[in-house]
Amino acid sequence: MKKILTNLKIYTMNDISEVIENGYIIIENGKIAEIGNGMPAEMEGEYISDGGIAFPGFIDGHTHIGIIGDSLTFEGDDVNEASEPSTPNMRAIDAINPLDRCFREALEAGITTVAAGPGSANPIGGQFCAIKTYGKRIDKMLIKAPVAMKFALGENPKNV
């Protein structure tokens, strides 16, 4: 299915200063197929927008999304491991619940990619992964794991 958005102010990723003041976006099969200035040469498809602003998807580089179950209580909280202070073996991909409603909320806010991982109670907390905020299976959402190791100093680990 083809969708057409027109009369958009588009902030591109080509150059920090490049902004298309009056452009269009064509979406085919759920992915951006074409971006341009003015109007598209062909207007066949579902016309869904006339005006607005378009940004690239935002990235949140430090989250615990899906690891602290927003709709659950203690049974959904896998963010900190209390068994020992150093837990570099903890992997976010083993703890993330891809059905957590926070993924939908993040995507609706324009966040398309996150780095998610264990919390700050341990001086060495574990491995972060980079994932998309859309999908229902973590292996389909995964971009790369591990991407970082969580280290925390100061008040959080001192208080645990």
Domain boundaries, the chain: 2-54, 58-158
Instruction: Please choose, from the candidates 72, 77, 80, the residue with its C-alpha nearest in 3D space to the C-alpha of residue 101.
Output: 72
Q: Specify the DSSP element, H or E, that contains 95.
A: helix 92-95
**Residue 73 has what pLDDT?**
66
pLDDT in tens, 2-42: 889 999 999 987 766 789 999 999 999 888 999 999 998 88
CATH topology of domain 2-54: Urease, subunit C; domain 1 (2.30.40)
DSSP string across 62-83: EE-TTTB-TT-SGGGB-S---S
**Sheet containing 58-63: order of strands:** 58-63, 111-116, 124-132, 142-151
pTM of structure: 0.76
pLDDT in tens, 37-90: 999 888 777 777 788 999 888 999 999 999 987 666 666 677 888 888 899 999
CA distance 158 to 130: 28
